[in-house]
Amino acid sequence: MLKFKTIIVILLSLWCLFNIYDIWTVGNNYELLVGFIFFLLPTIVVLLLLSFNLRKENHKLEKIIAMIGIIVGVLSIIMSLLTYGWNLIR
């Protein structure tokens, strides 16, 4: 049976993936910056902390889910920064 931390990591990973899709629809940098600081950044911090904590577990499935959470968190940060830079150039 999956632990509570594992379920939270799965839900936060899905949330971050959906936010990566929504980032490209933002029109100006102010909305992007506010959305990143107040909505996405706390989610990414919690996701990364839980994922690194979950990586120490013995079950293989939990380690895989933890690695997926770490990858999604890093991808979310990279995509947010790239989108902010793209909006500055545009």
In tens digits, the chain (90 residues) has pLDDT values of 678 989 999 999 999 888 877 776 777 778 778 878 888 889 999 999 999 998 888 888 899 999 999 999 999 889 888 888 887 887
Which range of residues forms the domain containing residue 45? 4-89
- Please enumerate in sequence order all residues whose Cβ is within 8 A of that of 74, keeping only pairs 6 or more positions apart, or say none: none
Nearest by Cα to 69 from 4, 2, 1, 7: 7
Chain-centroid distance of CA 61 in Å reads 19
| pTM attached to this predicted model | 0.85
Confirm if 83 and 24 have CB atoms less than 8 A apart.
yes
Q: Tally the domains of the chain.
A: 1
